[in-house]
Every structure is written in structure tokens, then in C-alpha cells.
Amino acid sequence: MLVSLFSCRASKQAKKDMLYLNNGTLDTLPNKQVKFPEAVIQKGDQLSITVYSDNPEATLIFNQQTARVTTGTSTAGANAGGYQVDQQGMIRIQTIGAIQAAGMTRNELAIHISDKLKPYLMNPFTDVRFLNPRITVIGEVQKPGVIIMPTEKISILEVIGLAGDVTMYGRKENVLVIRESNGVREFGRLDLRNTNIFQSPYYFLQQNDIVMVESNTKKQTATDQENMRKLTLVTTFATLVSTIAILVTLFR
């Protein structure tokens, strides 16, 4: 009777651990406006920068890098992947020189560049975008690796989905997000079973984030059992070989 009760409870707990957002009914949660923090440019980011103005011919000089990227060539201060933010947090744009980029949002940098261009262009407008923003997912997911963000606004649940979901050995209750912000490394823990994740600053991911799904005790148990099985097979084989050798010696 006790064994049956324990087995039933264990089964219910295992089923609960497999579910997402299982601590309440989603349709009873209060409606709240979603706050999406705009991504901040970091050292090492690659940016696409396109300039527009009322005098297109004069604008061409500031878009030479964009044209060179399209044709596969590059210039100093930028590479074939666009403008790269250096380790001082700077980018270098022809004519206007070095500009601080790290720590700004895309819109802030676009406005700053446009202000710098006003002496040269009439009504300048700048578009700044991330080139190939990526998130790394490791650990107990079906498809670990680097994920190119399909959109700037992407949540932990979407990324887990793109990684093929958490495996049966993954800990949904303790997913780690590693993030670097202004040169400082941050660590955030998320419980994918709890609706409170919607309030976490790590629910929406940012470029260069690392998501790590840890293994549960089942994985260690399964590994131990597999190692024991292999050890048993090796021991049995060694015993068999030893026995055959003894028999061959006796009957010579």
C-alpha cells in the first residue's frame, strides 16, 4: 500500500516537472502590459548602419560601408559583417570619426549619429540594426547550439522551443541565463514551471545571452546505471576469458 502511494506521488511529481507554467491557470492571471526592455549595444556587437537624408547624393559617402558589405569588401573600422563595436565601445564612421556605441540602445545611437551628421546632410535620419544577433543554448535541450535571433523581441520560452524543448533529464525549475551588461556579468535563474517568469528581467532575452539547462538527478542515476551495466559486462567478459584460459590449461 505504501509503495503504491509513494509510486503515485512520484508519478504526479514527475508529470508536474514536465509541464510549463503549471502553478496556476493562465487565463486567470491579471492582464498586464508587457514591458520589453530595449536591447543595449555591447562591445563586440556587429551593427548595420544606414543613413538617409533629403540630399541622397551627399548621403552616399556615409553608406559606402553598406555597399561594400553587399559586395563582400570591407574598410578600416568596419568588417564584412558591418560596423563592429570595439573593446573601447566605439565604432568609426567615415567623416565623423569615432562614436561611443556600447551602452546605448539602437534608437539612441541612431539619434546620436543623425545629430553628428547635421553639419553635412539635410534632415539626416539613421537606421541602426544588429547583424546576426545570437543566443547560445547549452545543456539539456534537444538541439543545443547557437540560435540566430529571428527578432529582437524573443522570450526564454521561444528560445527553448527553437532549441527543441528541454529533454526529460533537464531541470525546468532552474534554468540559468548568463548576460553581460556594460562589462558586468549577470546571472539570472528562471523556473519555467512558474508563471512568475513573466515578471523576470530575464524572461526576454538579449543578444549574446547564454542559456544553460542543468541536468536533474535522473540523468545522473541513468548515467550511473549505464556505467554499472558496462562494468558488469566487462567483468563478465573478463571472468569468461579467465575461465576459458584455465580450462584450456587443464585439458592440455
Q: Which residues pair with 20 in a beta bridge?
A: none
* pTM score: 0.70
Question: What confidence score (pLDDT) does residue 70 get?
Answer: 43
What residues have CB less than 8 Å from 147, skipping those under 6 apart? Answer: 134, 135, 136, 137, 159, 162, 163
Distance CA 53, CA 211 (A): 41
For residue 49, the model assigns a pLDDT of: 94
- pLDDT for the residue 249: 72
| pLDDT given for residue 34 in this prediction | 65
Kindly give the parts of the chain with pLDDT less than 70.
1-18, 23-34, 66-81, 218-232, 234, 237, 250-252
